[in-house]
Structure 1
Amino acid sequence: MSHVPAAVTKAFGQLGDRAVRRVAAKSIAVTMAVFAGAGVGLWFGLELLRQSAWFAALLPPSIGGPLIIVVWLAVTLVGFWLLFRAVALTVLQFFADEVVAAVEARHYPALAKTAQPLPLTREVAVASRGLLRMLGYNLLALPLAAVLLFTAVGPGLVFLAVNAVLLGRECTDMAWLRHCRGAEKANPVPFAERVLLGAVVAGMMLVPVLGLIAPVIGAAAGTHLVLRRLTCEASAA
C-alpha cells in the first residue's frame, strides 16, 4: 500500500508551522519575481523590436503595436504554463533545507540529529541539475506531445507523466541528500511511490493558488517518505 496519501496529508498539516509558512512565502515571492522580471524584460525587448526600422517597414504601426501586445501576452502565458514547475522547484531548492528540517524536528527528532545540511554551493549545484533535467526532459517530450495533439488530452498526459517522474525525484532528494552520506543515487523511496508523489504535486501545480504552495507540500511529503524508510531500516537493524 502506498504511503503517499499519508505523507501528503501530514505535509498539509504542517502548513501551520512558522518555518514552513516562511519558506512558502519566500519561494512564492521569488518565483513570482522571476516571472515578473522575465515578463518586463520580454516587453522591453519587443518594444525595441517594434521601434526598429525594419519592423516599421514590415508592418505599419496600426498593426505592429497590437501584434506586439498579442505576442507578449501569448509568450508570457505559455512560458508561465511551461516553466512554472521548473522555476518553482528550482527556487524551492534554495530553501528546501528549512522545510526538511521542520519536518525532521516535528516528526523525526532522532534523524534530525544526524542530518547534514547542504552548503550553499551544493544547493546551487543540485538546483542547477534539477532545472536542467526538468527543461531537458520536457523538451524531449515535446515531439511525442505534438504527435498526440489530435487527441486533445494526449499532450497533457505526456507532460504529466514526465513531470511526475521528475518531481517525485526532486521532492524526495531534498531530504535524502541530507542523510545519504554520499550515496546520492540510493534514494530509499521506491520508484512507484516517487512517481505517485510527483503526479500529485504536478496535479496541484495546475490548480490556481494551490499550485503556489505545491512545491513546499511536495518537499514536506517527500521528506516523510524518505525518513519513514530510514526509520523502518533503523528499526529492522
Structure 2
Amino acid sequence: MFDDFFRSVGQLTDPRFRNVLLKGLGLTVGLLVAISWGMVTLVGFLMPDVLSLPFVGEVSFVGGVAMWLALLLMIVLSAVLMVPVAGAFTGLFLDEVADAVEAKHYPHLAPNAEQPITTAIRESLGFFGVIVGVNLIALILFFFVGPLAPILFYAVNGYLLGREYFTMAAMRRIERDAAHALRKRHNGQIWIAGTLMAVPLSIPLVNLLIPILGAATFTHMFHRLVGR
C-alpha cells in the first residue's frame, strides 16, 4: 500500500501528470475569475450611483464600496473553493493519469477504452458532490467532537477518497459490480490508503496534487490486488 503511494509520488514529474494538473488549475482559475467578475458586475449594476440616507443625505460612494466588498468576498470564497473545484475539474482528466501509470508500470496491458466525456463529467460531479456534502455534515459534527475534529476530518475524507478513487481505477478494467465487490473485500486497506491522500488536504498548494496522486495510487493498488 505504501509502495503504491511512493511509486505515484515518484512519477509526479511525468509530463502527463503535469498536463492534467495544469488543465485542472486553468479551468478552475478561469471559472472563479469569471464568477468573480460576474458578481462584481452584478453588484455594480444593482447598486445605485447615489444613495440617500436618513440624517446623512446623499452618499455617492456606496456603489464603489459595495463592488469592492463583493470582490473581497469572492476572493475569500475562491480561496476556499479552489481545492474542491480544482479536484472536480482535474477529475475530468484522471483517465490520463491512470493511462500514464499503466504505460510506465504495466506495459503488457491492452490499451484501455477511452471514457466518454459525459461519463467523466458525471463521475467528477458526483465525486465533488459527495465530498462537499459529507464534509458539510462533518463540519456540523466538529462542534461536538472537540479535539477529535482532525481525526474525524481525516477519517471521513480518507474513506471518501479511497472509495471514489479505487472505484474509478477499477472500473477502467472491470464492471461496476465487480469493482464494488473488490473494494468491499479490501475496504480497510483502501480506507488507510485514502487517509494517506486526506492528510495533505490540509496543506495549501500540496492539496492540489491530491486528485493526481489519488488516481495514480489507486491504479497501482487495483493492479496489485487483482494480481493476487
Interval containing the TM-score (normalised by the shorter chain): 0.7 to 0.9
* RMSD, matched Cα: 3.1
Using the alignment, how far apart are the partners of 1:215 and 1:139 within structure 2?
Answer: 20
Structure 1 match to 2:187: 191
**Cα distance, 1:174 vs. partner?**
2.6
Note the 1:75-86 alignment, pairs <5 A.
Answer: 76-78=75-77, 80-81=79-80, 83-86=81-84
5+ residue gaps, structure 1, are: 233-237
5+ residue gaps, structure 2, are: none
Using the alignment, how far apart are the partners of 2:60 and 2:114 within structure 1?
Answer: 56
- The residue type equivalent to 1:185 in the other structure is H
Alpha carbons of 1:186 and 1:84: their partners in 2 closer, same or farther (altered >3 Å)?
A: farther
Using the alignment, how far apart are the partners of 1:156 and 1:78 within structure 2?
Answer: 22
Q: TM-score, normalised by structure 1?
A: 0.77
Structure 2 match to 1:128: 125
2:98 aligned with 1:104: no
Alpha carbons of 1:130 and 1:91: their partners in 2 closer, same or farther (altered >3 Å)?
A: same
2:174 aligned with 1:180: yes
Using the alignment, how far apart are the partners of 1:146 and 1:51 within structure 2?
Answer: 41
**Cα distance, 1:156 vs. partner?**
4.7
Using the alignment, how far apart are the partners of 1:113 and 1:10 within structure 2?
Answer: 21
2:142 aligned with 1:145: yes
Q: TM-score, normalised by structure 2?
A: 0.80
**Cα distance, 1:97 vs. partner?**
0.9
Offset from partner CA, 1:92-139 (integer Å, 9 cap, x none): 2211111001111111223x3163432222212211221221222123
**Cα distance, 1:179 vs. partner?**
1.1
**Cα distance, 1:155 vs. partner?**
4.8
Offset from partner CA, 1:207-235 (integer Å, 9 cap, x none): 23322222211211111111111122xxx
Contact 2:167 2:180 survives alignment (8 Å): no
**Cα distance, 1:64 vs. partner?**
7.0
Structure 1 match to 2:226: 230
Report % sequence identity. 26
Note the 1:3-22 alignment, pairs <5 A.
Answer: 3=1, 5-22=2-19
Alpha carbons of 1:201 and 1:77: their partners in 2 closer, same or farther (altered >3 Å)?
A: farther
Using the alignment, how far apart are the partners of 1:133 and 1:56 within structure 2?
Answer: 46
Q: Which has the larger radius of gyration?
A: 2
- The residue type equivalent to 1:177 in the other structure is M
2:65 aligned with 1:31: no
Using the alignment, how far apart are the partners of 2:83 and 2:205 within structure 1?
Answer: 14
SS in 2 for 1:185: helix
